[in-house]
């Protein structure tokens, strides 16, 4: 597995350990001219019982990533509502992002 994919996979594991998400999407990734990962953005969808804002801060503080990583956190109800709207960010993520994790029920 390329180093960049290893970094993203480790972050996915770290996030699942911290907050038990419903889904995690890779929204975007940046690479340098050598093809090396230089940054990425993840979208984390969590149960409605989790407060999205504080969780976003917690993820930034409690995870350690060798490249810049950004998070956007949605509660499941908000995600489901916005993922249906083709003008929303959630819709673009759901239809163009890479699904990295889905909680098995």
Residue 39 has pLDDT above 90, yes or no: yes
Query: Is residue 40 helix, strand or coil?
Result: strand
The pLDDT of residue 3 is 84
Per-residue pLDDT, 9: 96
What local confidence, expressed as pLDDT, does residue 2 receive?
72
Question: Residue 1 — very low, low, confident or very high, per pLDDT cuts 50/70/90?
Answer: low
Average pLDDT over residues 12-32: 96
For residue 58, pLDDT over 90 is answered with: yes
Query: Is the Cα dihedral 99, 88, 56, 46 positive or negative?
Result: negative
Q: Which domains does the chain carry?
A: 3-102 (3.30.300)
- How many other β-carbons are positioned within 10 Å of the β-carbon of residue 38? 13
Across the range 10-14, mean pLDDT stands at 96
Average pLDDT, the chain: 94
């Amino acid at each position: 597995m390329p180093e960049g994919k290893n970094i993203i996979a480790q972050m996915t594991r770290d996030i699942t350990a911290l907050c038990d998400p419903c889904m995690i999407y890779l929204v975007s990734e940046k690479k340098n001219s050598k093809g090396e990962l230089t940054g990425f953005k993840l979208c984390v969808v969590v149960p409605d019982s989790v407060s999205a804002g504080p969780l976003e801060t917690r993820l930034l503080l409690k995870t350690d990533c060798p490249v810049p990583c950004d998070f956007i956190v949605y509660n499941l109800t908000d995600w489901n509502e916005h993922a249906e709207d083709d003008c929303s960010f959630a819709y673009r993520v759901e239809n163009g992002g890479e699904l990295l994790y889905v909680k098995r029920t």
